[in-house]
Amino acid sequence: MQRKLIVEFTKMNGAGNDFIVIDNRFFNFSDDELADFARRFCPRRVGIGADGVLAFSSPADAAHHYRMRYVNANGSVGTMCGNGARCLARFARNAGILDEELHFESDAGVYRARVGPAPEAPVRLFVPPPGTWIPDHPLAAALPGGVAAVHYLWTGTEHAVCFVDEVMGAPVQTWGPAIRHDPALAPAGANVDFVQVLQKGRASAPAELRVRTFEKGVEEETLACGTGAMAAALVARFLGRIGADDVQVHMPGGVLHVGFRRNGGVVSDLYLEGPAVTVFRGTVEV
């Protein structure tokens, strides 16, 4: 009988957005193997339970510290996960990479992160400027009754941002899949962010948003979404719904901080900051 492989993992979360983290420098799992691992162990109740799998891998370029590979719970590859990237930076620090600033590769490009010395210190992820921006993106199907428009922005992955009057009462499990699978967003689809403005903010005071996100690849609402927090903050600023470049984003699992500079239509110095917590470590047989 063939012996099973014992795989060590770390369970982490960023504001409730949770991940199974594997040191893939040792295991060298292929993309197909990582996809199988995610489909097997991410389901809750019958697996470890997570929104996705983070593979901590050796970089292609020796000038960088590591490579991040993110696989959604359904086995699909995600180009970027903001909370996952922050958790993986904490994992890298715990693995002995002690440089003040970490540079890592991802499918969305090269990113930077800064990890505080204390285990409870927030992790800041420095993010390249956003990509494709389409305000009032037309959809093939009619919009839900409580959504006036859908605004598309790429912040490492695809996002459809929808402003609502009362986000906690929004039927995210109904509206989210309908917009996420709309043919006009094919083939990639989009995460769908439902956003309520709490405080408009100004130059001397941060804005505040409340956001709930339906994530593709997980195919349900998650407790937080880092790229969604950035998309919500940027779109709110682009449309004049907030008046500050410093934004506190309240999500069901916690608060994320988004900061940036905006000069006309150009965004620079974009970052995402928040908690990145180790929950437990364990092993599984594969």
Q: Pairing between strand 207-215 and 220-222? A: antiparallel
Answer for the pair 187, 205: CB distance below 8 angstroms, yes or no: no
Element (H, E) at 174: helix 172-180
Residue 42: active-site member: no
87 in catalytic set: no
Measured CA to CA in angstroms, residue 102 lies from 20, 64, 113, 171 at distances of: 21, 8, 5, 39
For the purposes of burial, counting CB atoms within 10 Å of the CB of 226, is it exposed (0-12), middle (13-18) or buried (19 or more)? buried
Distance CA 205, CA 262 (A): 16
User: Which segments of 50-156 are extended strands (E)?
Assistant: 52-57, 66-72, 77-78, 101-106, 109-115, 123-127, 133-134, 151-154
Active-site residue (options: 42, 81, 87, 162):
81
Residues serving a catalytic function are: 81, 225
